[in-house]
Structure 1
Amino acid sequence: MFRKISIKNKNNLNLITSMALPLMATQFFQIIFQITDQAIVGRLKVEDFAAVGVASSFIFLITGTIGMLCSAFNIIGGQYFGKNNIEKFGESFNVTISISVIIGILCEIFILSYGKNIMQIIYGLNPETLTVVKEYLNIAGLTIGINLILFSFSAYFKNIKKSHILVYSLTAASIVNVCVDYILVYGEFGFPKLGAKGAAIGSVVGYTVSLVLSMFFFNKYKIFNYSFILKKEVLYRLFRLYIPLALQDLIEYTFFAIAIMAFITRLDVHSLAGYTVISTLTELFMIPMYALSGVCMTLSAQSYGKDKKGTDYTRLSCTFLLGLLAPLALVMIVFSLPIARMITDKESIILIVHQMLPVALLSSTINGVQMILRSTLQAIDLEKWVLVYSTFICSVSLVIIYLMIEYFKLPGLYSGLGICYLVLSLGYILKIKNKSRKPIPIQTN
């Protein structure tokens, strides 16, 4: 089946591949460097290590939530690009970059003014840890604005089919980040030993390198000039799309995840540890999921802007995803025991991983399919419907998952998640088919 679909859609498959593979490579290298970065910081005092973990998680949460504004640009810009309206595409990009700069500055001012108090209220940290958190946060807070700008550049390069540039900029950033971390955290080569503060500086320097490279490649491949503008109509369209996208992200990736974690902590410690190991292993699955859902969103938006269809790449993206995940899942299942032993030496946990990994991988695969389907619907102006539908399904699923965990423990968790993702996928498929059947209105002058 894969071969038949590939031959029939060779050009589209080549396009998806050329865009997705660089994104997968970028995410893979980032994970490697993130682990290395954590290993460097992990050799600090326990208080410092904990402080960096708490502060970086806080920054990650803020960046992810605000960063959905750039996803809104990816959709809006893609629709304009599909219409070959480069003027409007450039206008949307310029406004997104401009508002990202403003938001970044405001976030840093807010962190400098109230960051310490906010962290104390939320996490109730002891004075020693809170001091380290404040030092790290005051510097690393600069990465919020830098990342927002980088997200916009990422959407730009994906739209002009130059996603390989992201490999250069983000890999270079990761290398610089690790090197600067090592030098400043431990005070190597005559530099002062800064500990957690050095890790924050390393993050800022690394992302700045990525920003400089992105600006260089933007000038090399630019199809319009950048100027600082804040047009009311563009801002209105961006934020009108941003709100449902941000709420979707908040519900599905924050509230839903927190609730699931709260359910899991009620289990015994071995099940909890097993879940942690399985979550680490399934991170590999997330690489093609995020890459292909992002590519499908961009291409669907462009197609929708061109002919109001926007679903040409959905089936092919799902097929491509299944073609990647099936052999990967098979390898992970066959070698689950040695892979689990690389992470832990506790035989009871290894046995849990061996038993639960097949159903966990199946659940993750269905999740990847629903992510691609959801991205398609968001790209064709159905983001509000997606928000309402997914909120309802996730809410009902939480009740079902809670009951299944109570009766079946970890098998109930992964089975419940699989059911949730399957119902989401079926609803999205029906909506896409219904959208495809609707006649395209003929515009007359």
Structure 2
Amino acid sequence: MDGNLTKGPILKTLTKLALPIMASSFLGTLYNITDMAWIGLLGSKAVAGVGVGGMFTWLSQGLASMARMGGQVKVAQSLGRGEKEKAHGFAQTAVQLSTFMGLAYAILCLIFVRQMVGFFKLNDPEAVSAALSYTKIACGLIVFSFLTVTLTGIYTAQGDSKTPFLANLIGLVTNMILDPVLILGPGPFPKLGVTGAAIATVTAQFIVMSIMIICVIKQKKENVLKGTHLLTKIPAPYLNGICRIGIPTAIQGMAYCIISMVLTRMVSAFGAEAVATQRVGGQIESVSWNTADGFASALNAFTAQNYGAGKMNRVRKGYHASLWTVGIWGLIITLVFVFAPNTIATIFFHEPKAITIAVGYLIIIGFSEGFMCIELTTIGALSGLGMTRLCSIISIIFTGSRIPLAIFLKNTSLGLHGIWWAFSSTSIIKGIIFVCVFFWVTRKQTYETTM
């Protein structure tokens, strides 16, 4: 079987799978940072509008994670047990489910776009116009993103992280070329502004998706996606299996986004610069977030295959190696955010007030980066064991606590910084709790296995 993760040196096997995924995550970070850097030239109001529109693409990723996580875990566990036919069934179901949900989400967004943007109560007409333009395009064609996410998960479940990386690399190059051309309109090209940024992003997503589909068709090596048909009836056992694993992850992702929407509405009371800072700050923070999430995806496939093969000792060793790797990376990001915030902020903002707000955000959020990396990695491991419900419960409870904490702190002398501290402190707590939960779960399973 190609991409067997149940054999060979643990660190070498995990690293070989993780590096392309982490590189793909870096590319995802560059997608976003490239957009923000060019949009930043249009002013903080345009950035605020894209920030609001970006909330709805983020919400969609929570929904997309149902097919992606359910498909990835079930495919990997089936391959670990040597059940290749079941692996194909789960892969096909995941793709069908992803297509349906992507189209349904797009239709709803196009119908209710004004109400969605209106939720944030933006006071500036320019910011509102930017939000509407970005949301219509980015969410109207979100099915490309849904399928890209799901196909990446299924490739990863088979131990192939190189193909998604190469596809994302080509997509990034496309995005980097299109961004300045469509946003700023040099020479004979029209200046499309925020609309251009949305078109560039959607085009890149379409290209990434297309490359991964073409690779399934053209590659001679075995792939569980071969022979996938979108219009066939979905067998109930496969659908139930994916939903059982994927729904808690989807609820977790969407709840996290909705909580952030509520917090963004609080932030909007401090002005467009504050909203823009939250949006751009989140993209800057994704340098650590996407890297940890990429490593977590590799660990998820590694854990699922080895769990399916009954090799729990190998699961624990893989987790330990991953924990050290992402923990060190998170510490490096902390040092950069805390000691060089001005350098980072001036790349994206050109107004003194926005720069000042961004510096405060980076310093406060910086303290939680290592803990956030550990949290995401541990969620990947626990999800590989099929414990997505437990992850969802913990994440929703402690992420949800940000709302009352932010309400309390913003009314103190901290003001806007109080909201940033609500983000940071809860991330620290979640990181600690998830590590404790993983060790408790794996000890319990080891004990039950020896009975």
Query: Shorter chain as normaliser: what TM range?
Result: 0.7 to 0.9
Is residue 235 of structure 2 the alignment partner of residue 231 of structure 1? yes
Is residue 113 of structure 2 the alignment partner of residue 116 of structure 1? yes
Q: Which residue of 1 aligns with 2:4?
A: none
Q: CA deviation at 1:85?
A: 1.4
Structure 2: distance between partners of 1:396 and 1:300: 30
Aligned counterparts, 1:132-281, within 5 A:
133-188=131-186, 190-219=188-217, 220=219, 221-223=221-223, 224-228=226-230, 229=232, 230-251=234-255, 253-254=256-257, 257=260
Q: Letter of the 1:231 partner, please give it.
A: P
Question: CA, structure 1 residues 257+312, in 2 after alignment: closer, same or farther (shift >3 Å)?
Answer: farther
Q: Which residue of 2 aligns with 1:424?
A: 434
Kindly provide the CA deviation profile for residues 411-439 of structure 1, in whole angstroms up to 9, marking residues without a partner as x. 97555642343133213321221122113
Structure 1: distance between partners of 2:130 and 2:265: 28
Q: Which residue of 1 aligns with 2:304?
A: 301
Structure 1: distance between partners of 2:157 and 2:65: 17
Structure 1: distance between partners of 2:39 and 2:276: 23
Is residue 36 of structure 2 the alignment partner of residue 38 of structure 1? yes
Q: CA deviation at 1:83?
A: 1.4
Structure 2: distance between partners of 1:299 and 1:404: 41
Tell me, yes or no, if the aligned pair for 2:80 and 2:306 is still in contact at 8 Å: yes
Q: CA deviation at 1:178?
A: 2.7
The normalised TM-score by structure 1 is 0.78
Is residue 383 of structure 2 the alignment partner of residue 378 of structure 1? yes
Question: CA, structure 1 residues 10+288, in 2 after alignment: closer, same or farther (shift >3 Å)?
Answer: farther
Greater Cα radius of gyration, structure 1 or 2:
1
1:14 to 12, 16, 19: 12
Structure 2: distance between partners of 1:311 and 1:334: 36
1:367 to 372, 376, 379: 372
Kindly provide the CA deviation profile for residues 219-240 of structure 1, in whole angstroms up to 9, marking residues without a partner as x. 2144332222322222222223
Q: Letter of the 2:240 partner, please give it.
A: Y
Any stretches of 5+ residues in structure 1 without a counterpart? Answer: 1-8
Q: Which residue of 2 aligns with 1:438?
A: 448
Farther-moved stretch of structure 1 (181-190 vs 197-206): 181-190
Question: CA, structure 1 residues 187+407, in 2 after alignment: closer, same or farther (shift >3 Å)?
Answer: closer
Question: CA, structure 1 residues 194+370, in 2 after alignment: closer, same or farther (shift >3 Å)?
Answer: closer
Kindly provide the CA deviation profile for residues 25-61 of structure 1, in whole angstroms up to 9, marking residues without a partner as x. 2222332342222233333476655433322332222
Q: CA deviation at 1:159?
A: 1.8
Q: Which residue of 1 aligns with 2:293?
A: 290
Q: CA deviation at 1:301?
A: 1.3
Q: Which residue of 2 aligns with 1:98?
A: 96
Farther-moved stretch of structure 1 (99-108 vs 159-168): 99-108
Tell me, yes or no, if the aligned pair for 1:303 and 1:312 is still in contact at 8 Å: yes
Tell me, yes or no, if the aligned pair for 1:82 and 1:306 is still in contact at 8 Å: yes
Structure 1: distance between partners of 2:322 and 2:195: 43
Structure 2: distance between partners of 1:46 and 1:138: 20
Any stretches of 5+ residues in structure 2 without a counterpart? Answer: 1-6, 347-351
Kindly provide the CA deviation profile for residues 277-325 of structure 1, in whole angstroms up to 9, marking residues without a partner as x. 9867654332432122111111111122222x55633443343442454
Kindly provide the CA deviation profile for residues 42-82 of structure 1, in whole angstroms up to 9, marking residues without a partner as x. 33476655433322332222233333321111111111111
Q: CA deviation at 1:172?
A: 1.1
Structure 2: distance between partners of 1:38 and 1:277: 7
**Paired residue total:** 427
The normalised TM-score by structure 2 is 0.78
Farther-moved stretch of structure 1 (141-150 vs 279-288): 279-288
Aligned-residue Cα RMSD (Å) equals: 4.2
Q: Which residue of 2 aligns with 1:4?
A: none
% identical equivalent positions: 18
Question: CA, structure 1 residues 290+44, in 2 after alignment: closer, same or farther (shift >3 Å)?
Answer: same
Q: CA deviation at 1:395?
A: 6.0
Tell me, yes or no, if the aligned pair for 1:186 and 1:195 is still in contact at 8 Å: yes
2:60 to 62, 67, 81: 62
Tell me, yes or no, if the aligned pair for 1:390 and 1:424 is still in contact at 8 Å: no
